[in-house]
Amino acid sequence: MKAYYDLHIHSALSPCGDNDMTPNNIVNMSMIKGLDVIALTDHNSCANVRAAMAAAEGKLLVIPGMEIETSEEVHMVALFPNADTAEEMERILRASAPEIKNRPEIFGNQYIMDKNDEIVGEEERMLVTASGMDIFSVVDSVSKLGGVAYPAHIDRSSYSILSNLGFIPPELKIGTVEITEKSRDKMELDYNKLYNIVTSSDAHYLWDIAEKGRYFELDELSAAGIIERLK
Ligand SMILES: [Zn+2]
Ligand SMILES: [Zn+2]
């Protein structure tokens, strides 16, 4: 089967994510777009993942995820086989650096929601900030939990592995890179020799969620199967 995907979507938990990025709005918009699988990847937290998975039941597959900021200020997409392992990674990440309090009036609210889109809490620590884990320990820790981590939007001029390190260390054990739609055509030939390439939306607003375009060819649709593919 062709599994149409968007593996990089932010909810209202991300301070920069629109408050309309609720679990049900994200799932329903993804359905309208014709996607089969999405990942919820809020900055340094997976607190809305369970709600999105519940909202998606019987509709499409939601892979538990996070967009982790490493100590080098490199963004990495991390995907997990289930919510438990994603939450375990969030605990490891939180323990790696002192917490800074969010200032919602400047950076935006960080809403935690339930499966009915009710606001049930607000994350008080600042989520868009560097963790204490470097790229190597992020890849290693996520992998030990049965997940996969890969550099996000490598073509961007900030918060990317190429902008911040200048290159992808060959000893970094990754099988995938994310390249945005804008740069995919011109970078694809150079990178697909070494890596799988994933192109997702990095949506912070509902209308940014990917159109039905990029897909995986799979025997069976599962988080574990997609993670295996991206290792
Ligand atoms: Zn990012
Ligand atoms: Zn992002």
pLDDT tens digits along 51-98: 999 999 999 999 999 999 999 999 999 999 999 999 999 999 999 999
Mean pLDDT across the stretch 26-45? 98
Q: Which ligand is nearest to the CA of 154?
A: 1
φ and ψ of 112, to 5 deg: -100, 130
Q: Which ligand is nearest to the CA of 41?
A: 2
Q: Cα of 150 to ligand 1 centre, how many Å?
A: 12
- Per DSSP, 210 falls in state P
- The residue to which tokens 């990317």 are assigned: 160
pLDDT at position 216 is: 97
How crowded is residue 182: how many other Cβ atoms within 10 Å of its Cβ? 12
Q: Cα of 17 to ligand 2 centre, how many Å?
A: 9
Domain layout of the chain by residue ranges: 2-230
pLDDT tens digits along 198-217: 999 999 999 999 999 999 99
SS3 133: coil
Q: Which ligand is nearest to the CA of 75?
A: 1
The rounded Cα 164 to chain-centroid distance in angstroms is 19
CA dist 217 and 214 (Å) reads 10
Q: Which ligand is nearest to the CA of 69?
A: 1
Average pLDDT, the chain: 97
φ and ψ of 129, to 5 deg: -155, 155
pTM over 0.95: yes
pLDDT tens digits along 95-149: 999 999 999 999 999 999 999 999 999 999 999 999 999 999 999 999 999 999 9
Q: Cα of 222 to ligand 1 centre, how many Å?
A: 24
Q: Cα of 7 to ligand 2 centre, how many Å?
A: 10
List, in sequence order, the alpha helices (H) in 63-146.
83-94, 104-107, 135-144
Q: Options 3.30.360.10, 3.20.20.140, 3.90.420.10, 3.40.50.11610; which CATH number does 2-230 get?
A: 3.20.20.140
Q: Which amino acid is at 62?
A: V
How crowded is residue 7: how many other Cβ atoms within 10 Å of its Cβ? 27
CA dist 152 and 193 (Å) reads 18
pLDDT at position 60 is: 97
CA dist 191 and 179 (Å) reads 9
Q: Cα of 75 to ligand 1 centre, how many Å?
A: 5
3-state SS, one letter per residue, for 134-201: CHHHHHHHHHHCCCEEEECCCCCCCCCHHHHHCCCCCCCCCCEEECCHHHHHHHHHHHCCCCEEECCC
Non-local CB neighbours of 69 within 8 Å, separated by 6+ positions: 43, 44, 75, 76, 128, 129, 130, 131, 159
